[in-house]
Amino acid sequence: MFEKSSWIRLPRNVVVGHGVLDEVVPVVSDLHLDGRPLLVTSPTPRTVAADPIAADFRESGVDPAMVTVETASFDAVERVIDAVEAEDADYLIGVGGGKAIDIAKMASHHCDIGFLSVPTAASHDGIVSNRGSVPDGDTRHSVAAEPPLAVVADTAILAEAPWRLTTAGCADIISNYTAVMDWRLAHRLKNVEYSGFAGALSEMTAEILVENADSVRPGLEEAAWIVTKALVSSGVAMSIADSSRPASGAEHLFSHQLDRLAPEAALHGHQVGVGSIMTAYLHGGEKGVWLDIRNALESIDAPTTAAELDIDDETVIEALTTCHEIRDRYTILGDGMDEGAAREVARETGVIG
Ligand SMILES: NC(=O)C1=CN([C@@H]2O[C@H](COP(=O)(O)OP(=O)(O)OC[C@H]3O[C@@H](n4cnc5c(N)ncnc54)[C@H](OP(=O)(O)O)[C@@H]3O)[C@@H](O)[C@H]2O)C=CC1
Ligand SMILES: O=C(CO)COP(=O)(O)O
Ligand SMILES: [Zn+2]
């Protein structure tokens, strides 16, 4: 008897383009959301986007509440959950980078209320996904979270953001190549459930981005457009899979461990990009895919070495040899790399000197 079933939750409206920040209030109306919004933001995105959105709401006769978070943590999620009750909020709007959006989507999941995603940086592919990702002590949780009802991505704001944020988003997408390799490996060796649709969408997203790398240049609003479309597509792949597997393999374990060992040293996307060079090498060995990944990262000005991440070589080795422990996710790292092997892959790929 056929017993499979799946429930794919995707946003109803995805609005991307120049000046679309003004569309947040109309989008809320299109979704028939009533009552009071709580804007969840972080310091810079507050000035860039959350304050103007709040002004638009006030003009439309709605009094929005606002909470500003500083770090991606379960404490921050708790603060937002408390604010929902204290401010009598009916739905949430995450305004910012990955931090603010993850916290908003996790709080909305807990409170069972709707959530909109308003990215101010094209820096990560959590814009659309139904996953939240936060560190918790020695581990990292990728938890089920509320997918956004709508996404409003203003390319004028995204193009004005520091260029490094956009290159981080590109690197997060390029890392899909190795994430899917790890996912297939886990499927073959550990019988982990694999979705061919989600895997293909994730790989195709990385391919389209790399093919358009010439247009991904600072100062071009088209770059924000191309990268945002890719981030949306990658998030859809995660929602189809109902897992971050299509976009997160060993290169993400490496990055999550760097977050613990060298907090705030580099952006998430940049760390996963460097991780991806090394895990592609482990998957194939021969020059080929890992060099393609390194060249693609170089072509969009993303870091390819420990020095460019501003992280010392020994920390890279420590992250490589320990990161398999932080989450129960089978990857090319298996049950861990020994130190000599870690040094060799990092040297051979030029990540360390
Ligand atoms: N759930 C998912 O599927 C995914 C989740 N993630 C998560 O997302 C996070 C990484 O996202 P990322 O965006 O790099 O992290 P942050 O949200 O910390 O943003 C990075 C930096 O960009 C700043 N910033 C944001 N927008 C602007 C702007 N318009 N102009 C100037 N500065 C701006 C922020 O400022 P400020 O410090 O003032 O906030 C912050 O310093 C990680 O926690 C990662 O785990 C990543 C991918 C997928
Ligand atoms: O960053 C992500 C995908 O790009 C989310 O993955 P994690 O589940 O590893 O946090
Ligand atoms: Zn990522």
Q: Tokens for 61?
A: 């006769």
Closest listed ligand to the CA of 259: 1
Would you say 101 is a known binding-site residue?
Answer: yes
What is the pLDDT, as a whole number, of residue 286?
61
What is the pLDDT, as a whole number, of residue 139?
74
Above 80 in pLDDT, residue 138? Answer: no
What is the pLDDT, as a whole number, of residue 137?
80
Q: How far is 17 from 312, CA to CA, in rounded Å?
A: 39
Would you say 98 is a known binding-site residue?
Answer: yes
Alpha-carbon torsion (144, 276, 76, 166), positive or negative: negative
E runs forming strands in 75-171: 91-96, 114-119, 131-136, 139-144, 150-154
Residues 6+ apart with CB under 8 A from 303: 171, 266, 270, 273, 274, 297, 309
Express each pLDDT in 222-259 by its tens digit: 999 999 999 999 999 999 999 999 999 999 999 999 99
Would you say 223 is a known binding-site residue?
Answer: no
Take atom 40 of ligand 1 and give the residue whose Cα is closest.
97
Q: How many angstroms is it from 318 CA to the middle of ligand 2?
A: 20
Above 70 in pLDDT, residue 58? Answer: yes
Q: Is 254 helix (H, G, I), strand (E, B) or coil?
A: helix
> With bands split at pLDDT 50, 70 and 90, how would you rate the model's confidence at 146?
confident
What radius of gyration, in Å, describes the C-alpha atoms of the chain?
20
* Pocket, ligand 1, Cβ cutoff 6 A: 42-45, 48, 72, 96-100, 102, 120-121, 123-126, 129, 131-133, 157, 161-162, 165, 168, 172, 238, 244, 267-268
Instruction: With 0.80 as the threshold, say if the pTM is over it.
Output: yes
ipTM for this model: 0.97
